[in-house]
Amino acid sequence: MNSEYSRRDVLAGAAALGLAGAKSPAAAGFFQVGERAGHWWFISPQGEPFFSIGMNHIDSATLRYASNVEIWRTRYENSERKWLETGVAPNLRAWAFNSVGWVQEVVIRTPTIHRHSRNWNYEQYQWLGMPYCHLLPFAETHQWEVETCHPDFFSKDFEEWCDYVVRDSCQRMADDPKLIGYFYVDCPTWTHGGQAKWRGPLFDPKKLESQTGRDELFALASRYYKVTHDAIRRYDKNHLILGDRYELRAPLAEEVLKAALPYVDVISFQYFAGPAEVGKEFQRFQKLTAKPLLLADASIPERRTASSAQLGLRYAAMISALREVPCCVGWHVCGAYIANRARGFGFLDESDRADPRLVEAVTRANRETTAWVGKIGAAARK
C-alpha cells in the first residue's frame, strides 16, 4: 500500500497512541479553550471567556421561491453580500447571538435524496463579520446521508482528498481571528446505521464484542483522526479542531472517542433532548474525555409541539441550564435562520419576518447569558 499510514502500522500502534497527542494548540490571537472559575470556555482572541451562542442553518435560497423572490430582488438586490451584511448579521446581533455554527441547511429530505445547501466560502464569513465555525467535508458519513459510499480511510486517495479539502478552506482561513474552529462529519455512523440502509455503519458493531474488534475500531478511528488532523495542521496551526458532531441518541463507541482525543480540542455533540438529559450526558462524557464539550446542534426542546411563546420559554430554560454545566462551551441552535419547506421551522418566515414573541424571549436569554459570561471574565481579571 502506498499510503503514508498503512493499516498494519496503525493497528500496531493503536495501543501506543492512547492519549499522547499530535495536536497543536490554538495560537495566541485566535480562539482557544481553557478553564476559568471552575468552568470550561472558548477563550476569545482578546483573552476573554466566550460561551458560543451560535445559529445553525443559514441559507439565502429560502428567499428565492417563486412566491417570495421579490423580497430577494428588491430588499437585497440579488446580492448575497447585501443579504449577509444588512440582513443576517444585524438580526443575529440584535438577537444577541455571538457566532454561527454549521451554516448548511437541509433543502430536501426524502427516502432517496437528503441534501444540504452548499457550505459557505471565506468571503461569506467575512461579509457576515462574526465568529464562526466551518465544516470540512472530509467524509460524507453523516447519518442522514443516503447517496454516498463510505471512504477507505487507509487509502492514499483519502489522504489526497483531505489535503484538497484543507487547501480549499483552511489555507484561506488560517489567519482569520473570527474563525473558532473546524467541524468534520455531522453525526458520523461509526457503529450505527443511518438513513442509508444499503450502506450500514462504518464499522460492524458486532465486532465490539471482542477485544480484537475494539482494537480494530480504535485503529480505524485513529487513522481517520490523524490524517484529518495532520491535513489541517499542514496549512493551519492557529485554529481549534472541533471534530465530528456525534449523535447522542445513537450508540457511540468509547474507542472512537478515545481515538479522537489526541487530535481534537473539543468534543462536539448533536443531541435533541431537554436540558436535564443534556447536562447528565455531558457530565458523563466529560469524565470520559476530560475535554470541553460543545452542544453543536440541538433544537429548542420539543420545538414541534410548542407555540411561539412556549418556544421562547423553552429556549431560555435550555440555555440557562447549559451554562451551568461546567464542561459546556456553548450551544449552536438548530435553527434555521429562515424556515424553508424542507425544515419547516426558523426564526424568520418566508416573508423575511420574525415572530416577535420568539425573538424577544431568545434575545433576553442570550443577553442574560452574555452578561453572566462577562461577570466571570471580570472576576477572573481581579
Q: Are 203 and 220 in contact (CB under 8 A)?
A: yes
The label of the residue with cell 431568545 reads 362
Q: How many CB atoms lie within 10 A of CB 204?
A: 12
Cα gap 199→202, rounded to integer Å: 8
Bridging pattern class, strands 49-50 and 52-55: unpaired
Under CATH, what is the fold of the domain 52-381? TIM Barrel (3.20.20)
pLDDT 10s digits, 28-63: 799 999 999 999 999 999 999 999 999 999 999 999
pLDDT for position 213: 96
Whether 217 has a pLDDT exceeding 80, the answer reads yes
Q: What is the mean pLDDT of the chain?
A: 89
Strands (E), 71-138: 99-100, 106-109, 114-116, 132-135
* DSSP summary character for residue 194: -
Model confidence at 170, pLDDT cuts 50, 70, 90, reads: very high
Contacts of 293 (CB under 8 A, 6+ apart): 40, 266, 267, 268, 269, 282, 285, 286, 325, 327, 328, 329
**Domain spans, the chain:** 52-381
